[in-house]
Amino acid sequence: MEVVSLQVPALIQGQVDLHCHTTASDGTLAPEALVARAHERGVGLLSITEHDTLASWSEACAAADHWGVALVPGIELSCQWRGATVHVLGYDFDVMSPVIQAAVARQQDNRWQRAHEIAARLQKARLPELLEAACRHSGGDVPGRPHFARAMVEMGVVSSEAAAFRSYLGNGKPGDVKAFWPSLEEVVAWIVESGGVAMIAHPRKYDMTATRLRELIAAFRACGGAGIEVLTGGQSVGDTGFLVELARRWALPVTIGSDFHTPGQAWGELGRLPPLPEGLHQAWLQFQRIRHPQRAS
Ligand code: AMP
Ligand code: FE
Ligand code: FE
Ligand code: ZN
């Protein structure tokens, strides 16, 4: 893999989208189709941030060359902080770093253990055996909660994925198993030690008061985390205002991303984000490992 460092921010043309998922985690588009869609929607700088895996990276690189999209390494790591599950985005790390490779292997192991525990707990909650169907929905990779949700819809246990989260998989429900996630400090260290930058994903999506969220960001910064994702798909104007104000006051680097998972979802279309307010430090302007498309000529 050839890595070209970014000298001039002007090299980034078009929309920036630094958060999305493919079939390698819980998205529904294959990496090739996702990159094609990013190109169609005017995305010039893309990061695919799978949950706890780098499995789509090679395929994404090939597609990014084909479509002329600049790509930066990304990942969304699950961790826990004071009993809450928090998603930490890693960017611009060395994909081949032994640290990130070991981290991903460990998270996959954690996810398999968690999948078995989720299935067992749902059975205790009088649902049918779901692991096999969930694995089918994840294409044989480790199933996450969305794959369990799809299995429940398929079996007619619930009417929609949203209902599955509401009744069985959401925060505090039987299928919400946090026990296997590493600490915030550990996942930040994995990203930093592999040369990357850590950001808190969709900070307003956690079930936390504003005070608690400020404490999370302070703890994150104290262990080497950089900043926050200020724009995410479907975020309210009020939540964006809160995050922008905080980023300005604390001089936090920021990133932006749709959190696109599937075409046709009400929020989170790839490349579709409101304009970024002024006075923010855009973390991607400092990225060193942006992979510019390599055209055969
Ligand atoms: P996991 O990493 O397996 O715990 O799954 C987390 C994923 O579930 C998130 O990235 C979302 O894609 C999805 N998710 C979380 N909450 C909901 C919800 N209320 N409705 C639908 N999908 C959700
Ligand atoms: Fe997801
Ligand atoms: Fe997330
Ligand atoms: Zn995500």
Q: Each residue of 85-96: pLDDT tens digit?
A: 999 999 999 999
CA of 62 from ligand 2 middle (Å) equals 23
**Structural contact between residues 31 and 4, judged by C-beta atoms closer than 8 angstroms:** no
The whole model's pTM is what? 0.95
- Asked if pLDDT for residue 249 goes beyond 70, the answer is yes
Summary mean pLDDT of the chain: 94
Say whether 277 sits in a helix, a strand or coil.
coil
Is the CB of residue 261 below 6 angstroms from any atom belonging to ligand 1?
yes
Q: Which atom of ligand 1 sits closest to the CA of residue 26?
A: 12
**How far apart are the C-alpha atoms of 169 and 213, rounded to whole Å?**
23
Element (H, E) at 240: helix 237-250
pLDDT of residue 11: 63
Ligand nearest to the CA of 201: 3
Using a CB cutoff of 5 Å, list residues around ligand 4, an ion: 76, 259
Say whether 223 sits in a helix, a strand or coil.
coil
CA of 285 from ligand 1 middle (Å) equals 30
For 177-233, write each residue's pLDDT tens digit. Answer: 988 999 999 999 999 999 999 999 999 999 999 999 999 999 999 999 999 999 999
- Asked if pLDDT for residue 6 goes beyond 80, the answer is no
CA of 20 from ligand 4 middle (Å) equals 6
pLDDT of residue 252: 98
CA 217-220-226 angle, 5° bins: 90
**Minimum CA distance residue for ligand 1 atom 19:** 165
CA of 260 from ligand 2 middle (Å) equals 8
- Asked if pLDDT for residue 238 goes beyond 50, the answer is yes
Q: Between residues 297 and 121, which one has the greater pLDDT?
A: 121
pLDDT of residue 160: 96
Q: How far is CA 23 from CA 127, 195, 251, in A?
A: 26, 26, 35
CA of 296 from ligand 4 middle (Å) equals 32
Range with lowest mean pLDDT among 12-16, 17-21, 105-109, 119-123? 12-16
Is the CB of residue 52 below 6 angstroms from any atom belonging to ligand 1?
no
- Give the mean model confidence (pLDDT) for residues 150-172: 96
Q: What are phi and psi of 185, to 5 degrees?
A: -60, -40
**Structural contact between residues 16 and 44, judged by C-beta atoms closer than 8 angstroms:** yes
Residue to probe by mutation, ligand 1, list 131, 169, 232, 267, most atoms within 8 Å of CB: 169
Q: Which atom of ligand 1 sits closest to the CA of residue 261?
A: 12
Percent share of the chain, pLDDT over 90: 91
Is the CB of residue 26 below 6 angstroms from any atom belonging to ligand 1?
yes
Is the CB of residue 186 below 6 angstroms from any atom belonging to ligand 1?
no
Residue to probe by mutation, ligand 1, list 117, 148, 165, most atoms within 8 Å of CB: 165
- Give the mean model confidence (pLDDT) for residues 272-281: 96
Beta bridge partners of 78: 87
pLDDT of residue 296: 58
Torsion of CA 113, 85, 82, 106, to 10 degrees: 40
CA of 65 from ligand 4 middle (Å) equals 24
CA of 259 from ligand 4 middle (Å) equals 5
For 28-60, write each residue's pLDDT tens digit. Answer: 999 999 999 999 999 999 999 999 999 999 999
CA 71-260-27 angle, 5° bins: 95
pLDDT of residue 1: 47
pLDDT of residue 30: 98
Q: Between residues 12 and 277, which one has the greater pLDDT?
A: 277
- Asked if pLDDT for residue 7 goes beyond 50, the answer is no
- Give the mean model confidence (pLDDT) for residues 66-71: 96
CA of 222 from ligand 1 middle (Å) equals 28
**Minimum CA distance residue for ligand 1 atom 3:** 144
**How far apart are the C-alpha atoms of 288 and 282, rounded to whole Å?**
14
Is the CB of residue 146 below 6 angstroms from any atom belonging to ligand 1?
yes
